[in-house]
A and B are shown apart, each in its own frame.
Chain A
Amino acid sequence: MTLRLNTDFAAGLFGLLFAAVLWFPREGMGRLSIIFPRAILVIMVVLSLALIVKAFTKPAAREVTIEGNPRRLVIMIAVLFVWWYAIDLLGFLVATAIIFFGLTWYLASVEGVVSRRRLAQWVPVVALLIGVFYLAFTQVLNVRLPSGIWS
């Protein structure tokens, strides 16, 4: 998918917004704490303004190409954040089992319809994968993974 977008202008605008977000909370900070971030913020504003000026005088690219299916792109981003939320809620093991299996099914369906038999064949593979990593992290590396509502 190709979008019409002046990338210089977009980058400059992003830089200005980012600088603004950090510019306002700097009030009340001591000199030693703010001296370096303030210098970088000033440089960043100058660079962003330069990019915006360049966007009108000598723009780099006026379109952006998103390779692949944009719907799958948005769904993938959403799945990542749902995964994060679900781990907090249901614990690592349950949340990962559900989302891993669901994501595998969704991505495999890109190539065609996934039969029930194939889905059933995946269950032990997914369980083994998650189990190995779960045990490696909890038993070998001594990492306490979130257990959510089961704790």
Chain B
Amino acid sequence: MDMLLEALFSILTLEGLATILCGVTAGLFIGALPGLTATMALAVLLPFTFTMSPLQGLMALGAVYMGAIYGGAFTAILINTPGTPSSIATTFDGYPMARQGRAYEALAAATIASVVGGIIGVAFLLLLAPPLARLAVVFGPAEMFWVALLGLTLVASLSSGSLLKGLLGGCIGMLLSTIGVSPIGGETRFIFGIPALQGGIELIVALIGLFVIPELISMAAQGRGALPESGKLQGGAGSAIMRMGRHIFGKPINLIRSCIIGQIIAIIPGAGGNVTSLVAYNEARRFSRDPSSFGKGNVDGVIASESSNNVMVAGSMVPLLTLGIPGAPPDAIILGVLLMHGLRPGLDLFTETGVLTNGFILSMGFAAMFLLPVGLLGGRLIHRVVVKTPFYFLLPSIAMVTILGTYALRNSMTDVFIMMLLGSVGYFLRLIGIQAAPIVLGMILGVIAEKGYVQTMLTAVVDPIPWLRLLANPLSIVLACLVVLSVATTLLPGWLERSGRMAKVDSDEEKTS
């Protein structure tokens, strides 16, 4: 407790608070640029922390991380482009809301959800780090395989109309993720003699291509901007914030569920924020009284996605600080900074250097709180820019930023070509009912599923029936049951409706009422 108080006082200085404020602002603007991820924001701003004291450096990086994850929501809502992969799910309802003239409502909901998510994540980290860390190591390859499959059940709710087309999209994504060097066998696959493909198709490249390019093509064909004139702020910023605040805290179940999902997935090393927000979105849809409104501008989708991905920021520090296992890619940079300052993850981090560790954790809580003023002001500014800029300036500007963002990932023009190719094909696939979301989901989860599956099969080579190893321990069985349950709850309503039984139940209810 003494250490916690000492850490709190070391943050509550002008220098400490200014560091957090600058970190949040810088992270927000980098995160808002398509292609520039939270990992990149941390990597770019890392050298600036070398001259700082260890605590100040960690505070700055924690704030950048929090700001960057949240910043991804801005472009997701305003131009249907996830700034970071963790805000993919934000586009599903955020952009339709913006198109309906409710952009600031979506931004306000994303901000409030991110702040609450960030603070809850920090509280979880402070209170539950050691017991949760023990849970993290229980997840072996077989469990990761089931976690990936659980995420893939989301395809059903992203299919918007045809489950078969959604599943086909998921398969396309998984196959795209296998291009390049095999993670287990080490051989190159499906590179068609092009050496540049050895590194595979970067997720961000596909993400930008599949989400941004079809939108750009569509904007050019229709001669319109990203948001219609009705996208201008209606009723004032204050009323939008109040309305969203009342909505979120009036029915907090969605927020609480998303935060819990975010925390659980965050502690599993390798799952990362990309999966977190997608799973939280799926569950929000599944438990909603009006699931059909999701994907058409339901604010609960934005709240689920943004609260869970900001819980993940602090949540993914649990395995990092206790076991030295980064829960998500940006955590690897934080680990590097810890090691650079001579700090080794483990119990010592909470005892010998407790002031520093607690200071770092608390600073993330302050960073989450700073998201509110910075985000609401920044949101208004960016919203105004997107609405006011004529479409003939906005469209080439977005194209230029996506080219720059894609190129900057690996300094590769091949990546830019792949981005444009995927985007152009994605536009036509969208026309025939294959959406971008299942493809991207397949790409994210394909890698996790393949590693889990092949590693499990390798450990089971002497078993008479190798695949039974996937169900060898209780946790695997629980996860497999959850997959079956998830598939059943997704498919059952549709099947009942088609077979006419749902209509019968409804009419019976009407009669009794």
Contact = CB atoms under 8 A, between A and B. Distances in A.
B165 A51 contact: yes
Given A18-B175, A35-B457, A143 B184 contact: no
B178 A36 contact: yes
Contacts of A40: 171, 174-175, 178, 446
B392 A88 contact: no
- Give the contact-size bracket for chain A: 35 or more
Contacts of A142: 44
Contacts of B407: 143, 145-146
B171 A107 contact: no
Contact of A11 (B396, B408, B432): B432
B411 A72 contact: no
B220 interface: yes
A33 B424 contact: no
A76 B399 CA distance: 11
B454 A36 contact: yes
B497 to A, nearest CB: 15
B403 interface: yes
Contacts of A66: 221, 431
Nearest to A122: B393
Nearest to A50: B164
Interface stretch (B5-13, B211-219, B486-494): B211-219
Interface string B149-177: 00000000000011011011001101100
Contacts of B433: 7-8, 11, 60-61
A141 B434 CA distance: 36
A99 B167 CA distance: 38
A108 B392 contact: yes
Contact of B168 (A5, A44, A111): A44
Given A10-B432, A66-B431, A87-B416, A104 B458 contact: no
A64 interface: yes
A151 interface: no
B124 interface: no
Contacts of A26: 189-190
B397 interface: yes
- Give the contact-size bracket for chain B: 35 or more
A58 B178 CA distance: 33
Contacts of B174: 40
B395 interface: yes
Contacts of A35: 453-454, 457
Contact of A70 (B187, B221, B401): B221
A83 B220 CA distance: 16
B356 interface: no
A113 interface: no
B221 A33 contact: no
Given A60-B161, A76-B216, A141-B44, A14 B429 contact: yes
B164 A133 contact: no
Interface string A20-32: 0010011001111
A68 B436 CA distance: 21
A80 B411 CA distance: 18
Interface string A127-141: 001100100010011
A23 B191 CA distance: 13
Interface in A68-123: 68-70, 72-73, 75-77, 80-81, 83-84, 87-88, 92, 96, 99-100, 103-105, 107-108, 110-111
B420 interface: yes
Nearest to A36: B450
A100 B396 contact: yes
Interface string B429-450: 1011110000000000010011
B187 A125 contact: no
A104 B172 CA distance: 35
B189 A29 contact: yes
Nearest to B397: A129
Interface string A50-62: 1100100000110
Interface of A: 5, 7-8, 10-11, 14-15, 18, 22, 25-26, 29-37, 40-41, 43-44, 47-48, 50-51, 54, 60-61, 64, 66-70, 72-73, 75-77, 80-81, 83-84, 87-88, 92, 96, 99-100, 103-105, 107-108, 110-111, 125, 129-130, 133, 137, 140-146
13 contacts: A5-B432, A11-B432, A14-B432, A33-B182, A33-B186, A35-B457, A36-B454, A44-B171, A44-B175, A61-B433, A67-B221, A76-B216, A133-B401
Given A30-B187, A72-B220, A77-B424, 16 more contacts: A14-B434, A34-B189, A36-B450, A47-B171, A66-B431, A68-B220, A68-B221, A68-B223, A69-B222, A81-B417, A103-B395, A140-B44, A141-B408, A142-B44, A143-B408, A144-B411
Q: Closest 9 A-B residue pairs measured CB to CB?
A: A68-B221, A33-B185, A68-B222, A32-B185, A107-B392, A76-B220, A33-B182, A73-B221, A44-B171
